[in-house]
Structures are given as structure tokens and as C-alpha cells.
Structure 1
Amino acid sequence: MESTKFEPNCIASISEVLQFLSGKWTFLVITELLKEPQRFNQLRRNLGNVNTKGLTDTLRNLEEHQMIKRQVFPTVPVTVEYSITAKGASFSEVFQHINQWKTAWDPPVQ
């Protein structure tokens, strides 16, 4: 079998991406926001009532990495909506490749 060699900068890039995507709720938040922009409590309910701190930390991390956008509306009380950015939306291609890899290499569940 032929081995694949990666350049050191490629390995570093992959490692960096996996580090910020390694949160427990990260992939689920991204997939929810790929569907439509959502407010905090709507997102929390759609994720099966994830705890508030966990969701807050995940949203801040994704916003820091410009995967999602946080928009504040001047209402009473203040309304905050989260949406996927172009950078975050482009990550859906990675999800598709992961799914193709899994389908090709894992036997179907009986």
C-alpha cells in the first residue's frame, strides 16, 4: 500500500481546524445554522436542550472563527440571531466528503 505524505503546513492546518471544531456541539450547531438563521433558544431546543453554557461557548468559538455571524436587533428585550457565514457554509462540503468516506469504508448497519 502506498503511503500518503503531507507537508508539515498541511498537517498544522488540519490540526488547527480540528482543534476549533472539536467542541461537543460544534458540528450540530453548524448543521442547524446551515438550515436557517436561528435565535438562541430556538437553536437550543433544536439541539435537544443543550445546556446554556455549552451552547454559548460553542457559539462564541464559531463566531471567533468567523463560521457564524451574531446579529443583534434593537428590540425590547434584545433579539439575537445567529446565521452561518460564507466560510461556515463552505464547510458543508467537508461534511459531504466525510459522509462519502464513511459510506465507502464502513459496512451498513444491519
Structure 2
Amino acid sequence: MLHGDAFDPDCPTRLILDRIGDKWSVLVVLSLREGPRRFTRLRDTIGGVTPKVLTQTLRAMEHDGLLTRRVFPEVPPRVEYELTPLGLSLQRPIQAIADWAEENVHEVMAARSTHEQS
């Protein structure tokens, strides 16, 4: 099994960190934890993301093997997005980071405020 080195500037691991560290990718993973969703439901759940940025994020995540896009032969076409097993494997670490952020938001915001005032 090949392992990367995130501290090596030429290692593709950094590309993966960019993907999974992107706030929109994180929110897509969290939004899809309960199963497949359509584009509009994802957009509404995430909030604050433009359709263009969400489309770019979904395409990149599909390209990276983190989710699948399924088109149903209906009129109008119905499209659903679902995490792959690889994408599902991200749920636990991303949920842990989201939990940490929610638990520590007040302390971080206070520190920012203190820093900005000095």
C-alpha cells in the first residue's frame, strides 16, 4: 500500500487535503450522511452556497471518488447525489471536526475579538 507525505510539497496528499478541508465539501459530506439527496435539498440544507459553487464542489467530489451522481430517466430528469464508500469513510473524521467547531465556536470567536482589539 502506498502512503503519502502531507509535508512533502510535491505529494498529491495535499490535493486531497484541499478537497476534504474545503468548507463546502465538508458540508456536503455532512449533508449526505443520511443518504442520497437532490441538488436543491443539498443547497437548502447547506445554506449560503451558490448553485455554481455547489455544482463545482459536487463535480470535484465525484471526480475524486467521494460521491456518485445518479440521473433518473424521468421528465424532468431527477438527479441524486450519494456518498461512495470512500466518501462515507470521511463521515466520522469530518463529524468530529464539526462537533469540535460547534463546541468551541464561542471560545474561538472571543479569541478573535480579543486579537482584533489589540
TM-score, length-normalised on structure 2?
A: 0.70
Query: Alpha-carbon deviations, 1:10-55, whole Å to 9, x = none?
Result: 2235412112234341100111011221000111111115211010
**Count of aligned residue pairs for this structure pair:** 100
Q: Note if 1:9 corresponds to 2:4.
A: yes
Matched residue, 1:4? none
Q: Which runs of 4+ in 1 moved over 3 A?
A: 96-100
CA RMSD in angstroms, aligned pairs only: 2.7
Matched residue, 2:114? none
What amino acid is aligned across from residue 61 of structure 1 in structure 2? A
Go from structure 1 to structure 2 and tell me whether the alpha carbon gap of 1:18 and 1:39 turns closer, same or farther (over 3 Å shift): same
Q: Give the stretch that moved more between structures: 11-20 or 53-62.
A: 11-20
State percent identity of aligned pairs.
34
Gaps of 5+ in 2: 111-118
What is the CA–CA distance in structure 1 between the aligned matches of 2:86 and 2:63, rounded to whole Å?
A: 12
Matched residue, 1:79? 78
| Contact in 1 for aligned 2:70/2:81 (Cα 8 Å) | yes
What amino acid is aligned across from residue 25 of structure 1 in structure 2? W
What is the CA–CA distance in structure 2 between the aligned matches of 1:50 and 1:44, rounded to whole Å?
A: 7
What is the CA–CA distance in structure 2 between the aligned matches of 1:30 and 1:70, rounded to whole Å?
A: 14
Go from structure 1 to structure 2 and tell me whether the alpha carbon gap of 1:44 and 1:93 turns closer, same or farther (over 3 Å shift): same
1:10 aligned counterpart, secondary structure? coil
Go from structure 1 to structure 2 and tell me whether the alpha carbon gap of 1:99 and 1:31 turns closer, same or farther (over 3 Å shift): closer
| Contact in 1 for aligned 2:30/2:95 (Cα 8 Å) | no
What is the CA–CA distance in structure 1 between the aligned matches of 2:48 and 2:94, rounded to whole Å?
A: 23
